[in-house]
Structure 1
Amino acid sequence: MRVSNWMIALASGVVLAGCASTPPPKKAPPVVSAPSNGSSQAPAVTPPVIPSGPIYGGSTASRIVQVALRENYNWYQPFIDVNGGLRYQRTTESEKVRLADGTTSWEKVVTYWRNSGTLYSMMDSGISGASTCQSTSYSSAECRAFLLDNPWSAAFISYVMLQAGVTNFNTSPAHIDYIRDAYNGSGPFLMMNPATTQPSPGDMVCYVRNTRAIIGYEGLIAAFSNNPSLRQAAHCDVVVKVDRTAKLMETVGGNVLNGVTLRKLRLDDRGIAMLPRPVGFEAAGDGEDAGDSSCTPANENNCSLNRQNWAALLRLRTP
C-alpha cells in the first residue's frame, strides 16, 4: 500500500476546514451516557510502557489504552489533527527504520500478525506469502510482499486485545467479525450508535469502507439484519482519551497511513464524537484511509482523513 497524492498533500501542512459532522436534527435522539467508571480521561502513560509483553495491571479499559498508546509511541507518535490533516509521520510499514523499541517498521507489522494469531487465518486461507512470515527467518521477499498487499489494521486490534488480556475477544484479520460479535451481543463489546453514544477509553469506533450500499449505523444494522454472515471491509480505532471539558477525543489505529497512528476528533456539547462524514461515498481508492473522490486541490475541504463512513461504536462491556 502506498500513500496517495491527496494524503501527501495533507501531510504538507494544509490547514483543513469544514470537517464538522452534520448537525443533529432538531429533535435529537437520546444520548447514551458513557459508563460511570471514574474519570473520562484515558489513564496516564508517562512514559509509555515500552516492553513488548502483555500488560496485566489495571482495568480492562486501562490495559487496552496502555497497549494502544505504547504502540503509537513505538512508531514515534504519528497523528492526524482534528481537521483531518496528517501532522507527523516518521516511518511506514515497508521501511527498515528502527522503531522506539528497536524493531524495524516492517518487522513490527509481522509481530502484529504473528502475536495476534491472525496470521494462521491468512495461512489457512492460502493467502500468498503468509506462511513465509510465520517462519523464524521471515526476512524474505514473499513475506514483505504479504505485508504490503494485505491490510493489517484488524491484526493490530487483535494484537492489542490479546496484549491487554481481553477475554472472549474474537481475534480476526477482518474487523467485521468482531463488529458482528458486538452486534449479536457476544464477546466483550456491544455495538452502539456513534451518533448517540458517549465514547469512553477502551471503546472502539469503526467505519465501513469501499461501499455505497451501507451508509452509517442504520445502514450497517440493516446489512446485518439482511445478511447475518455479512462480509464487509471495515476499520476500527481504539479510543484512548476522552476529554469532555476540552471537547476532544483521541483514538489509535493500525495501518492508518501505513503506521500506528493517533487520530484527534472533536466532541459536541453532549460528549458525542463529531465523526465527519464523506462528501461522497465513492472512495478514491481501496486503501483503509482512502478519501472520497471529491478530494482535489480545488476542494480542500473534502480532503479530511477523518471523513469516513463511520458506522459503529463498540462499547466495552466491563471498563
Structure 2
Amino acid sequence: MHISNWVLAAASSLALAGCASTPPPKKAPPPVVTAPNNGASQPTEPKAPGAAVPAGPVYGGSTASRIVQVALRENYNWYQPFIDVNGGLRYQRTTESEKVRLADGTPSWEKVVTYWRNSGTLYSMMDSGISGASACQSISYSTAECRAFLLDNPWSAAFISYVMLQAGVTTFNTSPAHIDYIRDAYNNTGPFLMMNPATTQPAPGDLLCYVRNTQAIVGYEGLAAAFDNNPSLRQASHCDVVTKIDRTNKLMETVGGNVLNGVTLRKLRLDDRGIAILPRPTSFQATSDDEDSGGTGCTPANEGNCSLNRQNWAAVLRLRMP
C-alpha cells in the first residue's frame, strides 16, 4: 500500500470510529403552549366567605373573566369547600342531599336542582327517560322522586353547563355529559380547543378534564386515540373550571361541581414552566362509579394513595374566545 493510501485509510477509520462513539442527539421536549392574556387573572370575588353574593348572571369583563366569576360565586355559595395541594378535603359545610341553606339562602339540594333546570340539561335527562327527572322540572319540585334523581345522577356536567350559560357563552354545547363538549373541543367546534395538559399552560376560564372508570383510555394520547377510533365515544369524565393561576407561588385553582357532592375548589401545583403538576392515579383499574374518588389502595398506612387530585387527567380545554 502506498503511504498516501495508508494515511487516507487510517483517517477514514478514525472518522468512522468517531461517528460510532458519538451519542445520538437528544429528542427535543415538546413545545409549551403558553397561556393567553385573557383578562381573567384577577377575577372579582366576594369580600368574605358567607357574604351576600349575586344570584343572577355576571356580565362583566372578558368571557374568561365571566366564567371565573360565576364559578367562584357558586363556590362561595357553598361556603368554599376545597381540596388542598396534597389532595385532601380541608373543609365542607354541606352536601347535595341536605337542607342547609347556602350563602344565597337556597337549600343546598335545591341549588343542585337549579343547576339542572337553568342549564337546560334536565330536558336531556327527561328525554332519556331517567327516573325522577320530570319531578324536578315541576314548579313545586320538593318531592322524594326529585331528591332521588339528584342523588343518583352525577351533576358536574350540568354545573359546567350552568356556568357557561350564566357567563353568556352561548356557543357552548350544554350537556349532562362532559364528554360531549370535550368532543366538541377535539373536533374544533364550540368555544374550546382540546389540548395536552402535559404541555399547555392553563389559564383562567379554561377547563381541566379527566376521564374516569377506565383503564383503556390513559391521558391525552389515549383520549385522542379513542376519539379517532370512535367519534361517538361515550366515556365517563369530569371537568373543572380553571379559576386562578399564581405563577409566583406555582399554584393553580379550579372549581368543579359534584366534587365530593358540592361545588368545590381544588388546588394544584405548577412547575417552573407554568404547567400543572397532575398526580396520576395509582391504578387505572375502575373501582367504583364515584366521580371524585381518590386512588386505589387508600388506607391509613398509605395516605399517598388517597389524594383526590390523583385522576386520569386527559385534557385542557383552552378557551379561544377573547
Partner of 2:228: 225
Partner of 1:109: 112
Distance 1:220 1:99 in 2: 37
Does residue 1:144 correspond to 2:179, yes or no? no
Residues 194-248 of structure 1 deviation map (CA, whole Å, 9 limit, x = unaligned): 0000000000000000000000000000000000000000000000000111100
Q: Could you list the runs of 5+ residues in structure 2 that have no partner in the other structure?
A: 1-25
Distance 2:38 2:174 in 1: 26
Q: Could you list the runs of 5+ residues in structure 1 that have no partner in the other structure?
A: 1-24
Does residue 1:198 correspond to 2:198, yes or no? no
Amino acid at match of 1:84: G
Aligned residue for 1:301, secondary structure, equals helix
Partner of 1:275: 278
**Shift in alpha-carbon separation, 1:49–1:231, aligned structure 2, 3 A:** farther
> Conserved in 2, the CA contact under 8 Å of 1:283 and 1:290?
no
% identity of equivalent residues: 83
Amino acid at match of 2:189: S
Report 1 or 2 for greater relative contact order, CA contacts < 8 Å, sequence distance ≥ 6. 1
Aligned residue for 1:238, secondary structure, equals strand
Distance 2:37 2:301 in 1: 45
Partner of 1:16: none
Partner of 2:6: none
**Shift in alpha-carbon separation, 1:104–1:190, aligned structure 2, 3 A:** same
Distance 1:158 1:149 in 2: 19
**Shift in alpha-carbon separation, 1:187–1:109, aligned structure 2, 3 A:** same
> Conserved in 1, the CA contact under 8 Å of 2:296 and 2:306?
no
Shift of 1:51: 2.1
- Residue among 76, 81, 84 paired with 1:81: 84
Aligned residue for 1:165, secondary structure, equals coil
Does residue 1:184 correspond to 2:187, yes or no? yes
Residues 137-192 of structure 1 deviation map (CA, whole Å, 9 limit, x = unaligned): 00000000000000000000000000000121000000000000000000000000
Distance 2:157 2:273 in 1: 30
Distance 1:199 1:44 in 2: 19
Amino acid at match of 1:44: T
Partner of 1:169: 172
Amino acid at match of 2:124: S
Partner of 2:254: 251
Distance 1:73 1:27 in 2: 43
Does residue 1:293 correspond to 2:309, yes or no? no
Partner of 1:28: 29
- Residue among 125, 128, 148 paired with 1:125: 128
> Conserved in 1, the CA contact under 8 Å of 2:241 and 2:255?
yes
Backbone CA RMSD of aligned residues: 1.4
Shift of 1:44: 3.3
Shift of 1:49: 7.5
Shift of 1:27: 4.8
> Conserved in 2, the CA contact under 8 Å of 1:285 and 1:291?
no
Structure 2 length-normalised TM: 0.89
Does residue 1:62 correspond to 2:65, yes or no? yes
Partner of 1:20: none
Distance 1:37 1:309 in 2: 27
> Conserved in 1, the CA contact under 8 Å of 2:58 and 2:166?
yes
Residues 249-290 of structure 1 deviation map (CA, whole Å, 9 limit, x = unaligned): 000000000000000000000000001100111243211112
User: Where does structure 1 differ by over 2 angstroms across 4 or more consecutive aligned residues?
Assistant: 25-28, 46-49
